[in-house]
Amino acid sequence: MDAEERIARGMLYTESDAAFLADRRRADLLFEYNRTPPGAVDRRTQLLGRILGSVGRNPVVASPLHAAYGSNVHLGDDFYGNVNLTFVDDVEIRIGDGVMIAPSCTLTTTGHPVHPQLRQDYNRFSEPIVLADKVWLGSNVVVLPGVTIGSGAVIGAGSVVSKDVPPMVVAVGVPCRPVRDITDADLTQRQPPGLG
């Protein structure tokens, strides 16, 4: 089985195995993006289109933006990403429409084996991440490999999301767990404690 198939199956692979992916990295473009003035909206949007795999309408991504590749990230329409957003996108990260991400969040598709002897040559595994439409991640959220967060879900600040989150729930904690449904009662209040 070749490296590309092992990566696609979520199996272990090394940095040497992944060398064929080097041309997909967008480090120089990220460097340029992070030094482009916030008011240069057209230029920033054009750069995002060259950095990311796909970008919907009306993206707002504050600098600095960090990505392992960039080319494996796909943003829907009306995306908002605040400062210090990090994509460890060794495989795909798919983000739906109307998603908001607060400061200093990390979405990492990649993890490493627990046993140190298996971490030679940066041995790792990668699994895709999906954020469905209208997801909101509070500040300092970490989303781990293979996670899907359902439409409309809200993830509280500081949470570590290691398992799938269903749609239309508030989920918080380390590890992150749903604590309640989002209902029409939420149309009349600001936000539950612990978010933002």
Rg for the chain (alpha carbons), in Å? 17
Concatenated DSSP letters of 77-94? TT-EE-TTEEEE-SS-EE
What is the DSSP code (8-state) at residue 38? T
Q: Are 33 and 44 spatial neighbours (Cβ–Cβ below 8 Å)?
A: yes
CB atoms within 10 A of CB 25: 15
- Render 134-167 in DSSP notation, one character per residue: T-EE-TT-EE-TT-EE-TT-EE-TT-EE-S-B-S
Q: Is 115 a catalytic residue?
A: no
What are the CA-CA distances from residue 144 to residues 38, 49, 161, 183 (Å)? 29, 25, 6, 27
State the catalytic residue, choosing from 66, 74, 112, 115: 112
Question: How buried is residue 99: exposed, middle or buried, by Cβ count under 10 Å (0-12/13-18/19+)?
Answer: buried
What DSSP string runs through 96-131? Answer: -TT-EE-TT-EEE-EE--SSGGGGGGG-BEE--EEE
The residues annotated as belonging to the active site are 112
